[in-house]
């Protein structure tokens, strides 16, 4: 009695071929990869405007670490809370499709992470690419806890604009010499507006226009004739900010992780991130990637300015 190995019928052969082929294709080529990050919430001494104070940071960095992923990737970010304050992190602008528990607003989609506890944010980036950011989403901890969230196109997919020579995140923020938690609790008690910050910052640095701050300026060395992609993020608490570079035109190519029809402008208005209210209109003009044709001639410095204009 022998066993007959029959040749499978054609439809089964096709099925087996497709199945084996699918198994052989690397998973990341289909749906992106999983990226792991660890955010340790801890205190760090930082000096600005000649004031040294202990601020709450992610991994001791101010601004916080950069998250880089591709469209289609899954992010697993473990947040461990080592400070006395409750904490939660909002992935600002991410469409949380079937992952609402990972959105981040404290007391809205999750209980905050308590001292000594941790939480793993788990979400997949779907249909978005460009510049977003993450920040704390409880009380005013976002004044020191924030950082870029950069979404590159899928592997092998080019930008729909000239490939930049370099990409530079430029994140606007604010600095208070006092404790921001005291400022917001005072404002809530009195019902008045919160005290204004002592400085606006670019990548955590106030720049040379403030007292005792000449050395704490963000400098970007550029090569003449090269194109730079500036990933602008307004992580200020509540203020709309105007951004410009002396003697330069900026071309806006993306807003809020959506490519736009490029347009040129000398000055750009960027609204701040919303807090508990994820206002779509505001987030539409929140983050912008700029394509900056650098026409600087050699050995020249150009002032990069952010400012508030009272109207
Ligand atoms: Cu947010």
Residue 263, domain member (yes or no): yes
185 versus 25: the higher-pLDDT residue is 185
Determine the distance separating the centroid of ligand 1 and the alpha carbon of 103, expressed in angstroms: 9
- Domain region containing 54: 30-152
Q: How far apart are CA 21 and CA 292, in angstroms?
A: 44
171 C-alpha to center of ligand 1: Å? 14
Domain end, chosen from 127, 152, 177, is at: 152
pLDDT of residue 309: 64
Residues 42 and 147 in one domain: yes
Tell me, in angstroms, the distance from the centre of ligand 1 to residue 44's CA. Answer: 23
Whether residues 176 and 127 fall in one domain = no
Ligand 1: distance of its center to the CA of 25 in Å?
37
Residue 94 Cα to ligand 1 midpoint, Å, equals 9
Spatial distance between the Cα atoms of 246 and 220, rounded to a whole number of angstroms: 13
Within-domain flag for 174? yes
In what order do the strands lie in the sheet containing 304-307? 267-270, 241-245, 304-307
Based on the fold, state whether residues 206 and 96 are members of the same structural domain. Answer: no
Residues 6+ apart with CB under 8 A from 135: 89, 90, 92, 142, 145, 146, 147, 235, 273
182 and 138 within one domain: no
Is position 13 within any domain? no
Question: Is residue 20, in this structure, part of any structural domain at all?
Answer: no
Q: What is the pLDDT of residue 19?
A: 53
Question: Are 55 and 133 part of one and the same domain?
Answer: yes
Task: Verify that 124 and 191 share a domain, yes or no.
Answer: no
Provide the percentage of residues in the chain whose pLDDT is more than 90.
Answer: 57
Structural domain contains residue 124: yes
What is the count of structural domains for the chain? 2
Q: How far is the CA of 282 from the centre of ligand 1 (A)?
A: 11
Q: Which of 26, 146, 132 is nearest to 69 (CA)?
A: 132
134 shares its domain with 256: no
Q: Evaluate whether residue 14 is within a structural domain.
A: no
The pTM (predicted TM-score) of the whole model is 0.83
By the 8 A CB rule, do 148 and 119 touch? no
Say how many Å lie between the CA of residue 20 and the centre of ligand 1.
Answer: 43
Average the pLDDT over 174-181 and give the result. 96
Q: Say how many Å lie between the CA of residue 190 and the centre of ligand 1.
A: 25
Could you say which of 121, 152, 183 is where a domain stops?
152
Question: Across the strands, what pairs with 106?
Answer: 110
For residues 105 and 226, state if they share a domain.
Answer: no
Q: Which of 125, 152, 179 is the last residue of a domain?
A: 152
Query: Worst-scoring range by mean pLDDT, 5-14, 19-28, 37-46, 53-62?
Result: 19-28
How sure is the predictor about 310, in pLDDT bands with cuts at 50, 70 and 90?
low
Both 188 and 106 in one domain: the answer is no
Task: Phi first, then psi: give them for residue 10, nearest 5 degrees.
Answer: -55, -40
The reply to whether 245 falls in a domain is yes
- Pair 103, 201 in one domain: no
Q: Quote the ligand 1 centre to 277 CA distance (angstroms).
A: 9
Q: Which residue has the tokens 């921001």?
A: 180
Peptide bond preceding 308 in cis form (omega within 30 of 0): no
Ligand 1 midpoint to CA 15 (Å): 46
pLDDT tens-digit readout, 222-273: 887 788 888 989 999 988 888 888 878 888 888 889 888 888 888 888 888 5
Question: For position 217, which CATH number holds?
Answer: 2.60.40.420
Residues linked to residue 171 through DSSP beta bridges, in sequence order: 233
The answer for residues whose C-beta is within 8 angstroms of residue 139's C-beta and 6 or more apart is 85, 181, 184
254 shares a domain with 224: yes
Check whether residue 106 and residue 183 sit in a common domain. no
**CB half-sphere exposure, 305, CA atoms < 13 A:** 15
d(CA 108, ligand 1 centre) in Å: 12
At 76 the pLDDT is 98
69 is a domain residue = yes
- What band does 74 get if pLDDT is binned at 50, 70 and 90? very high
């Amino acid at each position: 009695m022998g066993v007959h190995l029959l040749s499978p019928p054609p439809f089964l052969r096709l099925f087996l071929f497709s199945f084996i082929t699918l198994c052989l294709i690397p998973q990341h080529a289909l749906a992106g990869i999983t990226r792991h990050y660890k955010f340790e919430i801890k205190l760090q001494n930082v000096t600005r405007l000649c004031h040294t104070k202990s601020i709450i940071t992610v991994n001791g960095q101010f601004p916080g670490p950069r998250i880089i992923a591709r469209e289609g990737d899954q992010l697993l970010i473990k947040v461990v809370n080592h400070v006395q304050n409750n904490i939660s992190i909002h992935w600002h602008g991410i469409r949380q499709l079937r992952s609402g528990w990972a959105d981040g607003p404290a007391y809205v989609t999750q209980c905050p992470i308590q001292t000594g506890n941790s939480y793993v944010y788990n979400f997949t980036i779907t249909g978005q690419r460009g510049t977003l950011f993450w920040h704390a989403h409880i009380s005013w901890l976002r004044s020191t806890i924030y950082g870029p969230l950069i979404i590159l196109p899928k592997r092998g997919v080019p930008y729909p604009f000239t490939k930049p020579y370099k990409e530079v995140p430029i994140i606007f923020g604010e600095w208070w010499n006092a404790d921001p938690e005291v400022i917001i609790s005072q404002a809530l008690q009195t019902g008045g507006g919160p005290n204004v910050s002592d400085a606006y910052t670019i990548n955590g640095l106030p720049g040379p226009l403030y007292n005792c701050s000449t050395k704490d300026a963000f400098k970007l060395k550029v090569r003449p004739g090269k194109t730079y992609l500036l990933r602008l993020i307004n992580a200020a608490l509540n203020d709309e900010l105007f951004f410009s570079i002396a003697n330069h035109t900026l071309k806006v190519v993306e807003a809020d992780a959506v490519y736009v029809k490029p347009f040129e402008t000398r000055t750009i208005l960027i609204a701040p991130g919303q807090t508990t209210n994820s206002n779509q209109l505001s987030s539409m003009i929140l983050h912008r990637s700029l394509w900056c044709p650098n026409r600087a001639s050699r050995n020249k410095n150009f002032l990069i300015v952010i400012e508030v204009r009272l109207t």
